[in-house]
Amino acid sequence: MQGPLIDTLARQGVSRRTFLKYCATLASMMALPPAAGRAMAEAMAAARRPSVIWLPFQECTGCTESFTRSHSPTLEGMIFDMISLDYQETLMAAAGHQAEEARHTAMRDNAGKYLLIVDGSIPLGVDGAYSCIGGRSNVDLLQEAAAGAAAVIAVGTCAAYGGIPKANPNPTGAVSVSDIVKDKPIVNIPGCPPIPVVMTGVLAHYLTFGSLPELDDKGRPKAFFGETIHDRCYRRPFYDQGKFAKTFDDEGARRGWCLFELGCKGPVTYNACATVKWNGGTSWPVESGHGCLGCSEPDFWDAGGFYKALSVPADPLGFTAAAAMVGAGAGVAGGFANRAKKSTAKKTHEPVTLDDLEVPK
Amino acid sequence: MTLDVIPIHVANQPPGEPGLSGNAPPLLREVAEQVRRLLESGEPSAIDLSALPLTSADLDWLQEKLGAGEIAVTLQAGGESTLDETACPGVWWVTHRNEQGAVTSQFIEVAFVPELVKAHPEDVAIGLETLAFMISDHQGDAD
Amino acid sequence: MSASLNKVTQTLKEVIDAPIASYFESCVHCGLCAEACLFYTETGDPKYTPIHKVEPLRRVYEQEYTLLGRLMKMVGLSKPITDDELEQWQELVYDSCTMCGRCSLVCPVGNDIVYMIRKFREGMAVSGHVPDGIRSATRRTVEIGGPMGLKWPAVANVLKHAEENTGLTIPVDKEGADYLVLLSSMEIVNYPEYIEALAKVFHKAGISFTLASDAFEATNAGIQIGASDIARVIVSRIVDAAERLKVKYVLSPECGHAYMAIRWEGPNLIGRPYGFKVVHVLELLDQLRQEGLLKMKDTFKDPLILHDPCQIVRRGGVLQAPDALIRQVAENYIPIADQQKWNWCCGGGGGASAIHTEEAEALRARAFGVKKRQIEAAGVGTVVTFCANCRITMEEALDHYEMNTKLIGLTELLAEHLED
Amino acid sequence: MNELQLLTWARGPGLDIAVGIFVLGVLWRLIEIYTLGRKKDLAAPRRAAGASGLHTVFRRSLAPPGMLKRSPVSYIGGYTFHIGLAIIVFLGAPHILLISNLTGLSWPALPAQLIDLVAVVTMAAMLVMLFDRITKPAKRFLSTFEDWFTWTVTFLPVLTGWLAVQHLLLPYTTMLALHILSAEILLIVLPFTKLFHAFTLFGSRWYNGSANARKGVPV
């Protein structure tokens, strides 16, 4: 399976025109000029598929599901046509020693050239014992694989930012890929799960231009994570008009009003769901009537509750009653002290005489 | 049971169609510029409509202005695509759909023939091989 | 801390109360009180901004009565008041504040700044940071009986003249009279016509009245200087006399701060309500007018304006009577824009007129600018007022500006035109 | 700490601390101030129509005769920014939601664009007031560090809120966090600075009004 991509595709019944069409759409999604779609198609058709090692750590396989759930040759599904996936536990037929062998072979044969895809966070607690494969800890495996990788792609919020395993109280001491790998380029594709086409875009960019796409300060491709869900949301006009659904079954919810008050995290979530949508462009959470959870943001799990609006307290206020007591106490104490001081001043009052009015000596 | 039975109706547009944003008319100038370039140097170009802040009213307006030409190409490749010539020859309205029929991208392409319509030499070569097979098969049959 | 400073803080600690605390906490430094103060509007000098005049009081409040202030004081972060500072503030608290109370009417957060000045003066007084003029007036009032050093024989002499001029008897120390009539030294010396006018009115209305030989003086330099203990001594003379003579009413004369002292401060100074009522002469006259007992034989023809004395009107509450009375007697009465509770001070209230330093007099002359413009804008040659202190302050100012304006007391004007 | 953590901190512990200090401070200061008490006025009162503490509480909200002309900037600017702040705080949708979350009270919001406009007008008015404080002699003379400080502390929540909504300067999440933090700073300093006039002005007006009402003067 080492020929040009276009041949692989052709064997699967994907015509050149279909491929061109995908590339045009992909370029459009990545906010590249239309001509880039063409260049991408040319470059990729002839490209040799890079070797990819996919390491799963503390994860739920949701990310893999997200990429593999497309039944027909869609944009999302193309990921697997674009690469030579040499190690992926969930997908590969081999198991045990054979699988380990495959990984070692790929790492040796493509040293310095392979792409490392990681999903899941890495537990550091108890020397990484919370998650091991073949008796080796995740952190150990990651460091070994990263050493020979050309670049690392952290797929899903767990790999990118620690995700749910890192949520309070983070029992396993989970961290993200970028907390461990410091000397390789890392692309974060967060989301729980991430949007598959983002991965396609990153790979297409890598194959076409030989480099990683432009990233934001959180290591995410700007093309997909450049704007918030809120800014691209079709319900945005309702926010601006002050029309909000107050419950999931009220008139506002039925009329498709803004879900801000129901806890939508769209305003602080950078992702492309509102434009790319899910399930082949069928729908996306907000369109289905549920607010955004903010799953592509670091620590989204601990951001104050999915059903709490952004402007309300993240935690119930705990100090207020105590503060009121202390304040009242301080006030009353001060008041007593003041009154005592005043009455002392009054008691020690000496009648003012004419002599007091004279200039002090 | 169909979707309309579900009593939740999602309004994709706020009540009262958002009108024209005013972003469409300048595109006509852009198209004209590209057509001029095509005539002068033969260089084709395209405008990615989904990358521009256009309302659906804007798109309708634009499509209506450009009108319909003589050629309408339909491409069946991973969903339907339409490549329609507008009333201005050399200006094509290209719409790509996925297998579910949803629009995935939309372009105005300025070219004598849209790139996607042209057959790729490698594919033509493969076609030639197929033809050669057919001929030899036929000869074999005739023998 | 010097002994005098100690006295200041002790005194201020006594007088600072919830309103003062609330006022200081409310101030947002908007500076609007400056726009209501004639010393600022006429000079443009921001140090005359009313709330600034009580800045040392604010610091004492903060350092003594707020938890944060006390903490700051403990760790030495706060600036204690000093004698030098009070020395410097003397001009702001006495020379350039007539306690007219106009600022208290405009403050958007509702601060009663004149109330704060009054309290602050208590502290200034006990430490001797007071102008010589007011100090000696106070001394004279306590030691001799009146701010001008007037003694009863001289008063008796004036009364005798009045009896001769009017042909009416003026009773003295008569027990059981309805009214105990008080006078101000200034009236006795400068405007004895007032006494004659009053005698005529009482006679006409058939009301019994008396003077008290030991309490003829209504003025109270004690409240001007800000020493309540001294003010109490002075006001007690009147209270004692009124109770001894068993009068129903005490009649406050045409003097602003006298009315403030006897009507509003008196009961609080002696610590109990009076057994008699205090009535301002204009209130009595207006009542007689309403009863039809104040008939005019003719009217005053020259165009005139009315100057409302602050302590009687804005701060005293005699709001309606002056206007009604002046309309009774004057044919060409011209109401002016800032009138009644919105009046502008003559510039000499609150004891200021007793300060005779060069600077104070120059400042008073400047402050009179607002009054001068009022007179000129109305284009009148006559100003009627009902406070002897306003009258003398304005006379000095008119002299200073060489203006040819006539000043008349309202009671006197009414008496002149009273039906025989 | 990333910006979402900052925001979550601001919405969580930060808000808790700020509201706590605010409540503590307000109660403490109010009790401290008003337990100082005052002497009963022993002078026989005079009654007059329209003269009472309550009357003054309301009447002082209007410019006294002639004052608007004397100091138009103070009044027009002052009204504009106070009313503007009130509209933003009490009629902006996210703010109502916060109030409703804390108190259970809720009411309809104004459209976001209108709140936007009000925010701009409010900021303009505040800048004019700042300019006025710098240029007007009496105001300049009275001004201390506290005046510049409280101006800043009041201005920042409006500015950051507006910048956040307009997506200017910093990413929305960061700006929103800064907005909430700046509002928390405002809450914390309010009881301990001149901003406390928001509470004491009612007491002050009432004291002034009732003291003068005894004399029969509606002030």
Min distance C16 CA to chain A CA atoms (Å): 8
For C166-209, the pLDDT digits (tens) are 899 999 999 999 999 999 888 888 888 889 889 988 988 899 99
Task: Identify the pLDDT of residue A70.
Answer: 58
For D63-78, the pLDDT digits (tens) are 998 899 999 999 999 9
Q: Are D7 and D177 in contact (CB under 8 A)?
A: yes
| D219 in a structural domain | no
Tell me the CATH number at D129.
1.20.950
For D123-137, the pLDDT digits (tens) are 999 999 999 999 999
pLDDT for residue B15 is more than 60: no
CB contact under 8 A, A240 and D113: yes
- What is the spatial order of strands in the sheet that A114-119 belongs to? A84-88, A51-56, A114-119, A149-155, A186-189
CB contact under 8 A, B96 and A25: yes
For D28-63, the pLDDT digits (tens) are 999 999 999 999 999 999 989 999 999 999 999 999
Domain locations in chain A as residue ranges: 50-222, 229-302
CB contact under 8 A, D142 and C31: yes
- The nearest alpha carbon in chain C to D29 belongs to C66
For A176-198, the pLDDT digits (tens) are 999 999 999 999 999 999 988 88
**Total domains, chain D:** 1
Q: How far apart are CA B135 and CA D68, in angstroms?
A: 102
The length of chain A is 361
Q: Are C203 and C181 in contact (CB under 8 A)?
A: no
Task: Identify the pLDDT of residue A89.
Answer: 86
CB contact under 8 A, D15 and A313: yes
A324 shares contact with chain C (CB less than 8 Å)? no
Distance of CA A232 to the CA centre of its chain: 17
Q: Are A57 and A121 in contact (CB under 8 A)?
A: yes
C338 shares contact with chain D (CB less than 8 Å)? yes
Domain locations in chain B as residue ranges: 23-142
Please enumerate in sequence order all residues whose Cβ is within 8 A of that of A355, keeping only pairs 6 or more positions apart, or say none. none
Task: Identify the pLDDT of residue C191.
Answer: 82
- In CATH, B23-142 is 3.30.1370.140: yes
For D135-179, the pLDDT digits (tens) are 999 999 999 999 999 999 999 999 999 999 888 999 888 999 999
Task: From chain C, pick out residues whose CB is under 8 angstroms from the CB of A341.
Answer: 13, 64-65
Min distance D80 CA to chain C CA atoms (Å): 15
Q: Are D199 and D26 in contact (CB under 8 A)?
A: yes
Min distance B79 CA to chain A CA atoms (Å): 9
Of A230, A312, A327, the CB nearest to D28: A327
Our CA dihedral for C186, C190, C191, C195, rounded to 10 degrees, sits at 70
Our CA dihedral for B22, B28, B34, B39, rounded to 10 degrees, sits at -170
Q: Mean of the pLDDT values across residues B69-92? A: 92
Which residues form the domain of D20?
A: 3-214
Of C110, C268, C273, the CB nearest to D208: C110
User: Which of C185-194, D100-109, D113-122 shows the highest mean pLDDT?
Assistant: D113-122
Structure pTM?
A: 0.83
Counting residues of chain A whose pLDDT is more than 90, the rounded percentage is 53
Give all domains of chain C, ordered by start, each with its CATH number. 3-128 (1.10.1060), 134-289 (3.40.50), 293-416 (3.40.50.1860)
CATH class of domain segment(s) A229-302: few secondary structures
Q: Mean of the pLDDT values across residues C333-360? A: 93
pLDDT for residue B86 is more than 90: yes
Task: Identify the pLDDT of residue B14.
Answer: 46
Taking all residues of chain B, what is their mean pLDDT, rounded to a whole number?
Answer: 83
A341 shares contact with chain C (CB less than 8 Å)? yes
DSSP states of D33-94: HHTT--PPP-SPP---TT-SHHHHHHHTTSPPTTHHHH-HIIIIIHHHHHHHHHHHHHHSHH
Residue D19: closest CA among D86, D73, D130, D99:
D99
Task: Identify the pLDDT of residue C276.
Answer: 96
Task: Identify the pLDDT of residue B7.
Answer: 54
At C419, the pLDDT band (50, 70, 90 cuts) reads confident
pLDDT for residue A88 is more than 80: yes
Phi, psi torsion values for A221, nearest 5 degrees: -60, 125
Q: How far apart are CA D177 and CA A297, in angstroms?
A: 15
Q: Which CATH architecture has domain A50-222?
A: 3-Layer(aba) Sandwich (3.40)
- The nearest alpha carbon in chain A to C228 belongs to A352
Q: Which range is least confidently modeled, B75-89, C30-44, C98-112, D79-93?
A: B75-89
| D132 in a structural domain | yes
Q: Which chains touch A (3 or more CB pairs under 8 A)?
A: B, C, D
Task: Identify the pLDDT of residue C4.
Answer: 82
For A278-320, the pLDDT digits (tens) are 877 778 999 999 999 999 999 999 888 899 888 888 888 888 8
β-strands C179-181, C209-210: how paired?
A: parallel
Counting residues of chain C whose pLDDT is more than 70, the rounded percentage is 100
pLDDT for residue B13 is more than 50: no
Residue tagged 């019944």 (tokens): A13
